[in-house]
Amino acid sequence: MNTPIERLHTALETLGLKAVEARLENLLEQASKKEPSYADFLDELLNCEVEARRTRYMRAKLQLAHLPFVKTFEQFDFGFQPSIDERQIRELRSLRFIHEASNVIFLGPPGVGKTHLSVALAEAAIRSAMGVYFITAHDLATDLGRAYREGRLDRRMRIYVAPKVLVIDEVGYLPLDDLGTTIFFQLVSARYERGSIILTSNKSYGDWGSIFGDSIIATAILDRLLHHSTTINIRGESYRLKERRKAGLVPAREQERAASNSLASDSVPPKTRQKTALGSTASEAKEASL
């Protein structure tokens, strides 16, 4: 004859209540010590399973989103990057921009936390049960370029149009060819006023012509991207460099060069008729390019 504990293990396993099963002895021991009410005991038991499921759900969603790492706002040292307006970050953390299908663009030299902050926003969106997809600009162009050549661009495009939030990292590290540029424009147009894009770039808007090989299409892309958007321009030192310097691995002159390499372009105020830095406001650029 099985003991009650053995029968409980069997039942919990059959029901798929793995978290409770793993902690069964512990929960029972605690209960016999604390003598909670029946309701409190049941509450604790079920909460244990609910929490475990929530964690599993988040892990699965994070995996589906293809985040390169998980970093949060709590892990970001704002004191190290005084050029970031924390009020702007607080506003973004409310995730209102996602409900408004508005975009967020992080500009700045390498190592200043562009990807970290993008991932932190993505993580917060996933926590609020929103669909998120993360990809680098280069991988995006490669993937959609292949789909185009194989005659399945429309279907493949859905992966990048469907999520509420699309993170496009490292725009500008590598120039895009004509096909990549056309596809990028199509994607930005398809998401325009429908879903948010969080984008990072090491290039100020004035240099986007060199990414897309053509200032007219760069203007048309910026026009749609910036119409409803917030730009966070980070002009600081690389955090990686700081860590290497702390370890005594970086000579002083390299530090100075890295600091002076920070972006020269102006910060763009959120939700205004923004300068595209290609010499015209967003709506003027639209007229010029279409």
Judged by CB, which is closer to ligand ADP: 228, or 240? 240
* Residues at the site binding Mg ion, with contacts judged by CB under 5 A: 115
Judged by CB, which is closer to Mg ion: 62, or 282? 62
203 near ligand ADP (CB under 6 A): no
Structure tokens at 173: 């590290």
The site partner of 240 among ligand ADP, Mg ion, none (C-beta below 5 to 8 Å per kind) is ligand ADP
d(CA 201, CA 109): 8
Of 18-26, 114-122, 250-258, 272-280, which part binds ligand ADP (CB under 6 A)? 114-122
Judged by CB, which is closer to ligand ADP: 100, or 254? 254
Give the footprint of ligand ADP on residues 216-275 (CB under 6 A): 239-240
d(CA 131, CA 133): 7
Q: Is the dihedral of CA 127, 130, 135, 137 positive or negative?
A: negative
Could you tell me the smallest distance in angstroms from the CB atom of residue 141 to Mg ion?
A: 17
Judged by CB, which is closer to Mg ion: 115, or 204? 115
User: Contact at 8 Å (CB) between 259 and 112?
Assistant: no
Structure tokens at 168: 């496009």
How many residues bind ligand ADP (CB under 6 A)? The answer is 17
Q: Out of 65, 67, 107, 112, which residue is the one contacting ligand ADP (CB under 6 A)?
A: 112
Give the footprint of ligand ADP on residues 63-102 (CB under 6 A): 71, 75-77, 80-81
Q: What is the largest CA-CA distance in the chain?
A: 84
Per-residue mark of binding to ligand ADP, 2-41 (x: CB under 6 A): ----------------------------------------
The site partner of 80 among Mg ion, ligand ADP, none (C-beta below 5 to 8 Å per kind) is ligand ADP
What is the side-by-side order of every strand in the sheet holding 229-233? 132-136, 165-171, 196-201, 103-107, 229-233
Structure tokens at 267: 């910060």
User: Contact at 8 Å (CB) between 233 and 264?
Assistant: no
Residues of 232-266 as b/e, b for ≥16 C-beta within 10 angstroms?
A: bbbbbbbbebbeebeeeebeeeebeebeeebbebe
116 near ligand ADP (CB under 6 A): yes
Per-residue mark of binding to ligand ADP, 136-165 (x: CB under 6 A): ------------------------------
Which residues of the shown chain bind ligand ADP in the complex (CB under 6 A)? 71, 75-77, 80-81, 108, 110-116, 200, 239-240
